[in-house]
Structures are given as structure tokens and as C-alpha cells.
């Protein structure tokens, strides 16, 4: 159903796009441009060509050459952006993972919003779509291979509802490989991102005493935010499509990471840890959801050989620098 509707809108959109092309050069659309990664990506990108940002948030200190639309992705006005602009690529960073928001609202926003993006990409024959997913979609499980490949099943949602949104988005983007074969779809699945990014791992390290699970010390991967941005830029190159894991410069056991980040930590029996975190969560003392302790228990690391080979990606920051980025973010 949505397919036919999309095709109808596509005819009109293409006509306008052709008319506008002479005047305006094709732009890159960044959704969620006001987030940390959006800003970082923008920093390099807006000097090379036209960049259009879409975000619900205001962007007060935006560079003057950024065309920013303060819009909800689900709004009709958003369609006009795509009608107005000839677009050469869409980078979807606008995934909301505010754990405080009700699961339903967030789910609706994420899935519906991305659904719209896909619709516009299909309708306007945009040649490139990049989704920033996460390695967490594979889920931390005892039966995980030490380094998961891109074709491993996405099993995170079976235990963890928080990540369900992301798994669904990832799956939606995967359907695009055959739904819109003319569009070069790229899905990036980075490991935990280190830097000023507000994610769960950051909330975890911000706990007054960082809990470890007694008797568990899984190996972990981290990737620096700059390296994620460089992967996003590489993904924008024409001719590239596919799913790419982004592992990082090296692996370390959790206990070593905590020590290097410089936080006090304590081992807690895992049955207790869950309750403890749920309690802290309820009183608003942490933004780290107790349900995510599986990531502190089992290994969830990825093999990024494909990204290094086909994307030409190489993490520029060393393991030490990456861990230091977490430390700086946490202590700041």
C-alpha cells in the first residue's frame, strides 16, 4: 500500500527536483543533526557541499551555510523539504534513545519517523541512504561468537525492549536493499561510541560506584566518535552499499575499562545488580537501565573486517585515546 502511495508522490517530487537542480546543488540531508554525531559530521561535510539538517531541536549555533529545518520527521512539512531540495544522500542519525521517555512514544517516533524517511528516499529516488545502527542490536548472549559478523541474527530485542526500536530500524533499512535496489543503502553498526555522546555506556560510567557483575568480565569494544564520523563519511561515497560493523581499535575487559576511565567500581551479584539499578533508576539517580546488564555479562563484539576491507575504514584513535574520550566525557 505504502509502495503505491510512494510511487505517486515520487513522480511529482522528481519533476520539482529536476527543475530545482540547476539552481541548487544536491544536498546531503542529516536527520538528528543537533545531536553530537550530527554536529561532528556536519563540521566536515558542510564545507564540501550543501547540507540540510532536520531535527526537532533548535540549532542556535548552526553554521550559516547549513539549511536547518526544525521539524518532526513525522510531520507533513518534512515531505516539503524533500520536494524542495534535490537530495543526493540521507544520513539518518535521528534515532531517539532517551530511556526516560515512555517506550511507546519513543517506539512510535523512531519507527514512524524512519518509515517516513524511507518513503521519501524511495519516492524521490535518492541514491544513498545511511543508517547509524549499533552493534548492540546483536544482543549480548552467552552463545555469541567472540566477534560477530554482519549476518549474525539481531537478537537484542528478545530480552531488551529498549533496543527494540533500533533493531526494527535496522531491519527496515535491510528491507530497503530489495525494496529500493537503486538506492545504495548503508547500515553502520558501531560498537559502544566513546566521546561526548549521550548513550547508555556514558550513563553507566557516571554511576557513583560503577557496578561490575560478580564473576563476569566480558571483553568490550569501543569506537571513538571521530572514527564513527569518518565511517559515515566513507559510507557517503557513491558505489558503496551494505552492512558494516565498526568494531574499534582493540578490545579490553570491562574491569580494565572502568579502571582506565578512572571510576571506582564494585562487583555485585547479577541478581542483585538488576534490582539495585532498577531502584536507582526509579529514583532518577541513573539513566542506565537495569535491563542492559546483559552487556556487562556476556560478550557482544563485532568483526569489522568488512568495513576495513570494503569501506576502507580504519579507526584513527588508538585504544588508549578511545578510552580517554570516555573518561573525559564522564568526568566533564
Binding site for another protein (CB under 8 A): 142-149, 209, 213-219, 250-253, 256, 258-260, 262-265, 269-270, 298, 301, 303, 320, 323-324, 327
Kindly tell me which of 105 and 318 has the beta carbon lying closer to another protein.
318
Kindly tell me which of 119 and 304 has the beta carbon lying closer to another protein.
304
Q: How far is the CB of 17 from another protein (least distance, A)?
A: 45
Q: How far is the CB of 312 from another protein (least distance, A)?
A: 22
Q: How many CA atoms lie within 13 A of 232 on its CB side?
A: 29
Kindly tell me which of 11 and 143 has the beta carbon lying closer to another protein.
143
Q: How far is the CB of 215 from another protein (least distance, A)?
A: 3
Q: CA 251 from chain center: how many Å? A: 20
Q: How far is the CB of 195 from another protein (least distance, A)?
A: 17
CA–CA separation, 32 vs 55, rounded Å? 5
Q: How far is the CB of 19 from another protein (least distance, A)?
A: 52
Per the CB < 8 A criterion, the answer to whether 224 and 278 are in contact is: no
Kindly tell me which of 142 and 284 has the beta carbon lying closer to another protein.
142
Q: How far is the CB of 260 from another protein (least distance, A)?
A: 5
Q: How far is the CB of 188 from another protein (least distance, A)?
A: 21
Of 81, 45, 74, the C-alpha closest to 62 is: 45
Q: How far is the CB of 309 from another protein (least distance, A)?
A: 15
Kindly tell me which of 115 and 265 has the beta carbon lying closer to another protein.
265
Task: Give every CB contact of residue 189 below 8 A, 6+ residues apart in sequence.
Answer: 133, 134, 135, 137, 138, 150, 170, 243, 244, 245, 246, 302
* CA angle, 98 then 67 then 2, to 5°: 65
Q: For residue 321, report the phi and psi dihedrals to the nearest 5 degrees.
A: -65, -40
Kindly tell me which of 3 and 262 has the beta carbon lying closer to another protein.
262
What is each CA distance from 197 to 75, 222, 265, in whole angstroms?
26, 12, 22
Kindly tell me which of 203 and 255 has the beta carbon lying closer to another protein.
255
Kindly tell me which of 168 and 304 has the beta carbon lying closer to another protein.
304
Q: How far is the CB of 156 from another protein (least distance, A)?
A: 17
Kindly tell me which of 109 and 138 has the beta carbon lying closer to another protein.
138
Q: For residue 127, report the phi and psi dihedrals to the nearest 5 degrees.
A: -75, -10
Amino acid at each position: 500500500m505504502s509502495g503505491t502511495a510512494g510511487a505517486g508522490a515520487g513522480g511529482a517530487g522528481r519533476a520539482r527536483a529536476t527543475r530545482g537542480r540547476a539552481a541548487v546543488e544536491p544536498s546531503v540531508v542529516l536527520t538528528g543533526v543537533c545531536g553530537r554525531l550530527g554536529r561532528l559530521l556536519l563540521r566536515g561535510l558542510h564545507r564540501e557541499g550543501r547540507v540540510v539538517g532536520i531535527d526537532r531541536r533548535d540549532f542556535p549555533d548552526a553554521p550559516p551555510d547549513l539549511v536547518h529545518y526544525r521539524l518532526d520527521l513525522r510531520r507533513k512539512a518534512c515531505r516539503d523539504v524533500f520536494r524542495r531540495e534535490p537530495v543526493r544522500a540521507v544520513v539518518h542519525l535521528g534515532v531517539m534513545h532517551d530511556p526516560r521517555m515512555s517506550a511507546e512514544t519513543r517506539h512510535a517516533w523512531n519507527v514512524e519517523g524512519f518509515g517516513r524517511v524511507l518513503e521519501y528516499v524511495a519516492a524521490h529516488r535518492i541514491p544513498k541512504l545511511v543508517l547509524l545502527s549499533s552493534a548492540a542490536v546483536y544482543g549480548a548472549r552467552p552463545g555469541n561468537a567472540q566477534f560477530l559478523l554482519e549476518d549474525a541474527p539481531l537478537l537484542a530485542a528478545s530480552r531488551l525492549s529498549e533496543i527494540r526500536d533500533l533493531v526494527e530500524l535496522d531491519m527496515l533499512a535491510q528491507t530497503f536493499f530489495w525494496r529500493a535496489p537503486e538506492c545504495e543503502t548503508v547500515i553502520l553498526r558501531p560498537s559502544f561510541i566513546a566521546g561526548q555522546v549521550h548513550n547508555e555506556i556514558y550513563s553507566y560510567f557516571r554511576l557513583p560506584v560503577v557496578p561490575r557483575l560478580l564473576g563476569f568480565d566480558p571483553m568490550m569494544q569501543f569506537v571513538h566518535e571521530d572514527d564513527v564520523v569518518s565511517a559515515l563519511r566513507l559510507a557517503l561515497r557513491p558505489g558503496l552499499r551494505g552492512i558494516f560493523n565498526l568494531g574499534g581499535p582493540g578490545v579490553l575487559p570491562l574491569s580494565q575499562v572502568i579502571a582506565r576511565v578512572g571510576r571506582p567500581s564494585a562487583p555485585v551479584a547479577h541478581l542483585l545488580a538488576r534490582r539495585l539499578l532498577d531502584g536507582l533508576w526509579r529514583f532518577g539517580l541513573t539513566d542506565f537501565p537495569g535491563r542492559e546488564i546483559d552487556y556487562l555479562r556476556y560478550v557482544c563484539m563485532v568483526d569489522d573486517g568488512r568495513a576495513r576491507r570494503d569501506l576502507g575504514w580504519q579507526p584513527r584513535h588508538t585504544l588508549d585515546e578511545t578510552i580517554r574520550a570516555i573518561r573525559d566525557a564522564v568526568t566533564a
